[in-house]
Amino acid sequence: MHDFLTAALYKFVELPDFSELQAPLLACCEAHGVKGTLLLAPEGINGTIAGRPQAVRAVLAYLRQDARLATLEHKEAFAPQMPFYRMKVRLKKEIVTLGVPDVHPALMAGRYVKPQEWNALLAEPGLVLVDTRNDYEVGIGTFKGAINPATHSFSELPGWVEKEMAPGGQLAPVDGQKPRVAMFCTGGIRCEKSTAFLRAKGFEEVYHLEGGILKYLETMPEEQSLWQGECFVFDERVSVGHGLAVGGHTLCRSCRNPLGAEDRASPLYELGVSCAGCHASTTEEQKQGYRERQRQVTLAEARQQGHIGPRQPGA
């Protein structure tokens, strides 16, 4: 039985009084027994919360009482156990860190494209398709024909854009005209900001997938889909496929990268300790610490008790 509701939410909106919202928002969440993390910044709100369905919806209703957040949207998922251990409301400079001043997604984001219209857009000639996610996310799935900027963090994307705008680059002007660009990400937040950045750089025709990959996988029939592989998600599911069915990936507890069946078959993979990608970068002392942590997790699961620390999904 799935007793807990998880709500992922974000909205780019001008919140000059964001610091004053912190304490009452935290009090509201704690009063309803809701846990998770919410980020507040001058540019808006972002985060994920979980709890009993009525409690989560009470917090969402509280947020929407602010006229600036009245149209706040969220994505829901149910789970048999609470995925978080505490509630945090943090103040940040940005709700998703790009590191470039004067980029305002609430005012400058590219054109939204609904999932049902996405395939038609990608079929248009001359369109440059960019995956704005990090390299480890792209590695387990992406749209056919998408460019992988091979970034390790979102804040590296502006540097990649600058490099590719140079002559010969993938975003370089053709006959003096900047190319048409479509961008996508997991749930929409990163591509809203990245399309706003491109518009600030003078790109006139910039598009992004409304609701992100998750909304596309939820609504697009698999036989019509241009998606290849699975989509990494930042929760206990690790990855999802079409229809948002839970995928076949788990997390490496050391480096936090997603691991497929082939990765787990490596002789350098040890549950809760290491994978082939990070085995050489941790000391034996660190590995012993991870082994002890995994032993505690295994004991707690055998006793059907909670354990402070992230679960090993699919293990």
Q: Tell me the catalytic residues.
A: 185
Contact of 170 with 161, CB cutoff 8 Å: no
Between CA 34 and CA 147 the distance in angstroms is 39
Q: What distance, in Å, lies between the first and last C-alpha atoms of the chain?
A: 20
Q: Which two tokens stand for residue 245?
A: 């069915």
* Phi/psi at 7 (5° precision): -125, 120
CA 59, 62, 66, 70 torsion-angle sign: positive
Contact of 273 with 294, CB cutoff 8 Å: yes
User: Among candidates 124, 121, 105, which has minimal Cα distance to 113?
Assistant: 121
Contact of 9 with 47, CB cutoff 8 Å: yes
* Phi/psi at 30 (5° precision): -65, -35
Between CA 249 and CA 311 the distance in angstroms is 13
Q: Residues, the chain, total?
A: 315
User: Among candidates 158, 161, 193, 206, which has minimal Cα distance to 43?
Assistant: 193
Q: Which two tokens stand for residue 133?
A: 């996610």
Q: List, in sequence order, every residue forming a beta bridge with 251; answer none if it has no partner.
A: 258
Type of residue at 157: L
Contact of 164 with 171, CB cutoff 8 Å: yes
Contact of 109 with 12, CB cutoff 8 Å: yes
Between CA 126 and CA 140 the distance in angstroms is 26
